Structure 1
Amino acid sequence: MKKLIILMGAMVLAACGSEQTSAPPAANDTEPKADMVLTNGNVLTVEEDMPKAEAIAIVGDKIAAVGTSAEIAAWIGDDTEVIDLSGQTAIPGFIEGHGHYTSYGDSFYRLELRYDTSWQAIVDKVERAVAGAEPGEWIVGRGWHQDKWTVKEDILVDGIPVHDKLSAVSPNNPVMLIHTSGHAVFANQAAMDAANTDGSTVPPEGGEIVLKADGTPSGMMREAAQDAIRAALADYEALRTPEQAEAELRRAIITAGEESLKYGITSFQDLGTTYAEVDLLKKMADEGTIPVRLWMAFDIPYEELALPGKLEEYRMVGYGNNFLTVRGIGEKVLDGALGTHGGWLLEPYTDMPESYGLNVVPVDDIKKSADLALEYGYQMAIQGIGDRATRELLDIYGAIKEANPDADLRWRIEHPQVIHPDDIPRFAKYDVIPAAQGIFACSDGGWVEDRLGKDRTLERSYLFNTLYEAGLTPTNGTDPPVDEIDPIASFKCSVTRELSDGTIFQGGEVYTRDVALYSYTMGNAIAAFEEDIKGSIKVGKLADIAILSQDITAVPDNALMDTKVMKTILGGKVVYERE
């Protein structure tokens, strides 16, 4: 894509003054009045011709007018709900650009491991869970990351503890602990027994069973090797009745939405879903019970994607009054995560020189899925974290783009965190969207150099502003439940690159404030073909708005995290209000 002109820059603001002066004609006494009016605010529209305003009129679920408070006052009638912003800032509702929606909702009912600073703390947490569980009941946790532990175990294999302590506290309950990236799990002996995994088990292609010195599994299952453990959990969960299974999935859907709305998120791009999940989501869309607007990408094997009629049947855009869109293929991932040494690299890992990472899904399967995407009008949205994975995806995408030069594909590479400089121009050449998450530069920045070395880190890692400067659509998100869903935290990392210890990671790659806001609103809308209905505050667009306590484009860096979401408006209705 041509380089974007990001809105609300200083020159534009200087030219336009402090308020919007060219609103649509105000309603008169004979015209319909607004259902809701937001007034006396600092409205950041993310629109080039009207970057700032004071007030918004909403009719139904759409924006009817944007202008000064005086202009919008004419839209107020006897039945109009008037919200006095008292100087607070209104922005388009945040769009989560990459996450795992039902996994995020489900994570609230699992053990939270993101904040534990030692393996022993995790073992203790599991022991407490075992005390309240029935024998044979699975215990699942998520969020651990070995590089965040301040205390190291005496026995480590590839920097990861062995399962002995975990198995000792949970001999009769299978335990599966998901790495924060989702690209590995740690299992106790009972879980490995349930999955028939031992020292003689041959790991699947694209996976690794980490072994202890005696040749038995350590408990760490990288990438595709985790599938056996997850399958054993699925077998256990299959014992539920259909009613129980649907109730738990509904719970996850509702919880994920309610939590999103607390952060001003009105749309969520999910990577990825299944046919069964979409069946329930469609049912809930008919009921009007989906809490946020969803864009979904399938995360299922090629063989299921290719079932006759399935992709045609399940493709939907704006279903249920724009609450459900299914038009993406995020079939598994091409590679793994840097944190688990799974990202597929062109050269070996600095701290594990025997490894180049893992190719998780065969390249030929990705090629076949790309053919299906082209045929049925889906977006490809495949993870390519390492520079080898990114190059392979650009080869696949590029071949199809060159054969179909006029097609507006907007195919995506998710988590483009390590990119060889030679490949950056290819993103623009093939109109590929780098679906990046600003927060990862800060959550990963403390250990990236360990994986890649100093020179490779500087040259290739987390080059988000370089991608923007190359003319690419900037996007943003937090990949929940991998990281906290908070857009303000990701915004701050995007504009500061400041780590928790105060150091700066890849400081030359910061976004400006305006680019960061664009990335979380219009950029993500463009990445989902939704820029005509969301992503900015404009007449005719959906009235999805977040009200913030302060202007995130203007406050000092050290005050950004003081920003509070005061209200979230979805389709012209206040769906969250801070107490």
Structure 2
Amino acid sequence: MKKIIALAVSGLTLILTSQNAVAQCQLYQNIKGYTPTSHTLKLTQFDWLAFDQGKVLATGIKGTTNPYQHCQPIDGHQQFMLPGLIDAHGHIAGLGFEMLSVNLRGIASEALAVDAVKNFATKNPASQWIKGGGWNQVLWQNKHFPHRDSLDKSGIKKPILLERVDGHAVWVNSQALALAGINKETPDPQGGKIERDENGEATGVLIDNAMEFVRSKIPPISAAEQEIALDKAFAHLLSLGIVNVHDAGVDEKVINSYIERNKTDRLPIRIYAMLDGSSQKLTQWLDRGIISDHKDFLSIRSVKLYADGALGSRGAALLAPYSDDIQNTGLLRTPTSDLDTLVHHILSKGFQVNVHAIGDKANRLVLDAFEKAYKTVNAKSLRNRIEHAQVVSLKDISRFKSLNIIASMQPVHATSDKNMAEDRLGKERLKGAYAWYKFLQQGTIIASGSDFPVELANVFHGLHAAITRQDHTNQPKGGWLADEKMTPAQALRSFTLDAAYAAHQEKTLGSLETGKWADFVLINQDVIHGKMEDIWKTQVFETWVSGEKRYTKN
């Protein structure tokens, strides 16, 4: 008998069926399906999908021989089917906690952000801290960083911490600064910056490693709060057709939760968890060796490191100064010597290394670190990755290929950044920015993600950005830096089979080929041959994992 647990989370129906359940042979027909395959770069189209015991038996075209007519039929009502979507760079716990905090995404001014914080504080009187995020000063008329004074004047008598949309800066009030002991004499930490006014006083914005001054004062999250956040995130991801997340830089508490959930078949999606490279227990985790699961629900064989910050907060490390801040070249969150040592150490333990690098200087230093390590460690086959690979010197792009580095990129970053990237970089550096076509043409694998909750956790937004390089108002006409567009086939592959490859999982995941897990999604429109400008509007009807329906649209 199947063991079924139904959870109602935020109005969604999340169905957890025991991973040990044996599914009856089923035949999904009357569909229009697309899947990448391991033997060609072209997509394969199909009209039916047969699966049994959680795995794909076959796909086929209507009118050809179908030996699976005896299977239990399911009518797809002429809807469209894709392999289950993989987000190759996200933050599951971060998404869940964002759903439980004040949301400032898209807020049009500092004053409106403060109003939202006040409203949240009123509705959550028991909160010891007011936490939230999503603000982006680039959307505000003056484009300036916010100030602690506006939070202080809100009347909220609690410490406040609000993350910038990219997660690389926080905006705090004076009470939070006081708790952290930050004053005029506090020096900037290595790899971080305290924004200051003309008198040297902290303005309330802390960038990159300086954020830890305040974060370290926040009371620990309870186990119950963590589990609620994870459940909310899982339900949301399944509602978007996402069946697998490469969780970038997971702390020990969350890792342990994943391990315990997996033991009792309570992981509703697949997780490729990257260990946090800054953890004091990193060596202990590495010594435990690779953690894998024959059902492919949990894999721990990689480590996330940070080279620099983000472009929006001018923390991305550049080879030359910012075009709009000529005294600033960004921040290196990890000193070069430490980065070299960490990369070598992790590779020597047989773990994949995935390094956050956004600026061209950071990307060069990370490539250098891999090149040095490869001289003494045979680690090219580990499929090491640079996370974001956002701004790369034209001289360094070919090094991704020669060093066998996967470019783990987020298409939505290009369309989100297009209104400020040229201000930060100037036209010349844009030639190596968000350079998807250049990478693909030389044979470099791109694993696409969203970087949620920095961006919305919606792969269809990513597909739209990759194919059109336009925002949701279809601007700019023809696409921003349009020569770097992906084809629909390339874009889908980057969110499915190539993302699976980046996790050493392409033999069992990422496509609807015989013998692979039956992970698939049913959607309302054709994202390959339909209207490209409408891809971001795609609705998910059903999400299946291992041949079990995990989400149905209400």
Structure 2: which amino acid aligns with 1:46?
P
Corresponding residue of 2:370: 397
- In 2 relative to 1, CA 69–574 (structure 1 residues): closer, same or farther, beyond 3 Å? farther
Structure 2: which amino acid aligns with 1:63?
V
Corresponding residue of 2:489: 514
Corresponding residue of 1:24: none
When the two structures are superposed, what TM-score results if normalisation uses the length of structure 2? 0.91
Distance 1:195 1:467 in 2: 43
Q: CA shift at 1:178, angstroms?
A: 0.1
Contact 2:308 / 2:331 at 8 angstroms: preserved in 1? yes
Which of 267, 279, 289 does residue 266 from structure 2 map onto? 289
- 1:71-470 aligned at under 5 Å gives the runs 74-77=67-70, 80-134=71-125, 137-149=128-140, 151-152=141-142, 159-233=144-218, 236-237=219-220, 245-301=222-278, 303-306=280-283, 309-313=284-288, 315-318=290-293, 321-331=295-305, 333-404=306-377, 407-457=380-430, 459-470=431-442
Distance 2:159 2:534 in 1: 44
What is the percentage of aligned positions where both structures have the same residue? 28
Distance 2:65 2:134 in 1: 47
When the two structures are superposed, what TM-score results if normalisation uses the length of structure 1? 0.87
Distance 1:110 1:475 in 2: 30
- 1:38 corresponds to 2:15: no
SS of residue in 2 equivalent to 1:568: strand
Structure 2: which amino acid aligns with 1:206?
G
Q: CA shift at 1:86, angstroms?
A: 2.6
Q: CA shift at 1:65, angstroms?
A: 1.9
Q: CA shift at 1:336, angstroms?
A: 0.2
Distance 2:279 2:256 in 1: 19
Contact 2:389 / 2:409 at 8 angstroms: preserved in 1? yes
SS of residue in 2 equivalent to 1:330: strand
Contact 2:129 / 2:159 at 8 angstroms: preserved in 1? yes
Which of 452, 457, 462 does residue 485 from structure 1 map onto? 457
- In 2 relative to 1, CA 110–171 (structure 1 residues): closer, same or farther, beyond 3 Å? closer
Contact 1:254 / 1:290 at 8 angstroms: preserved in 2? no
Distance 2:199 2:136 in 1: 25
Distance 1:484 1:548 in 2: 18
Contact 2:350 / 2:379 at 8 angstroms: preserved in 1? no
Moved over 6 A (4+): none
Q: CA shift at 1:390, angstroms?
A: 0.3
Structure 2: which amino acid aligns with 1:175?
I
**Gaps spanning 5+ residues in structure 1: where?**
1-31, 154-158, 239-244
Which of 546, 549, 553 does residue 574 from structure 1 map onto? 549
Contact 2:464 / 2:533 at 8 angstroms: preserved in 1? no
- In 2 relative to 1, CA 500–38 (structure 1 residues): closer, same or farther, beyond 3 Å? closer
Contact 1:171 / 1:189 at 8 angstroms: preserved in 2? no
Contact 1:223 / 1:336 at 8 angstroms: preserved in 2? yes
Q: CA shift at 1:547, angstroms?
A: 1.2
Q: Which region of structure 1 is more displaced relative to structure 2, 336-345 or 390-399? A: 390-399
CA deviations over 1:434-485 (Å, ceiling 9, x no partner): 100111110111110110112222x221111111111101221110000011
Q: CA shift at 1:133, angstroms?
A: 4.3
- In 2 relative to 1, CA 129–563 (structure 1 residues): closer, same or farther, beyond 3 Å? closer
CA deviations over 1:23-56 (Å, ceiling 9, x no partner): xxxxxxxxx9952211121221212468122111
- In 2 relative to 1, CA 215–465 (structure 1 residues): closer, same or farther, beyond 3 Å? same
Corresponding residue of 2:46: 53
- In 2 relative to 1, CA 42–113 (structure 1 residues): closer, same or farther, beyond 3 Å? same
Corresponding residue of 1:26: none
Higher strand share: 2
Higher helix share: 1
Corresponding residue of 1:543: 518
SS of residue in 1 equivalent to 2:381: coil
Aligned alpha-carbon RMSD (Å): 2.0
Contact 1:295 / 1:528 at 8 angstroms: preserved in 2? yes
Distance 1:576 1:322 in 2: 19
Q: How many residues align?
A: 527
- In 2 relative to 1, CA 344–164 (structure 1 residues): closer, same or farther, beyond 3 Å? same
Structure 1: which amino acid aligns with 2:542?
K
Distance 2:146 2:262 in 1: 45
Q: CA shift at 1:216, angstroms?
A: 1.2
Distance 1:72 1:312 in 2: 51
Structure 1: which amino acid aligns with 2:32?
N
Q: Which region of structure 1 is more displaced relative to structure 2, 33-42 or 89-98? A: 33-42
Contact 1:334 / 1:389 at 8 angstroms: preserved in 2? yes
Structure 1: which amino acid aligns with 2:310?
A
Distance 1:417 1:184 in 2: 18
- In 2 relative to 1, CA 166–372 (structure 1 residues): closer, same or farther, beyond 3 Å? same
Corresponding residue of 2:17: none
Corresponding residue of 2:447: 475
SS of residue in 1 equivalent to 2:355: strand
